[in-house]
Amino acid sequence: MHESQAVTFRNRSGCVLFGIMHLPEQTSRKNTAIVLLSPGVKNRIAPHRLYVKLTEFLISLGYPVFRFDFYGLGDSEGVISERLLPNIYTSIQQGLYINDTIDSMDWLQDRHGIKNFIVGGLCGGAITGLLAAQSDERVTALLAIGIPVILDNAGEKKTQTLTSSELDHYRGKYFLKLTDVNSLIRLLTLKSDFRAIFKALINPLKMRLRKITSVTQGAMENDPVMINFNYMFPDAFETMLRNGQDIGLFFGENDRLYWEFKEKYCTYFQSILDKYSAMYSLYLTPGARHIFEQKEQQVDLFRNIEKWLSRLA
pLDDT in tens, 53-80: 999 999 999 999 999 999 999 999 999 9
Ordered by where they begin, the domains of the chain are: 2-154+228-312 (3.40.50.1820), 158-224 (no CATH)
Beta strand pairing call for 32-36 and 2-10: unpaired
- pTM of this structure: 0.83
In 3D space, the residue among 58, 37, 14, 32 whose CA is nearest the CA of residue 45 turns out to be: 37
Residue 152, CB-side half-sphere exposure with 13 Å CA sphere = 19
Mean pLDDT of the chain: 87
In terms of Cα–Cα distance, which of 114, 136, 104 is closest to 19?
104
Q: What is the pLDDT of residues 12-48, one digit of tens each?
A: 999 999 999 999 987 667 789 999 999 999 999 999 9
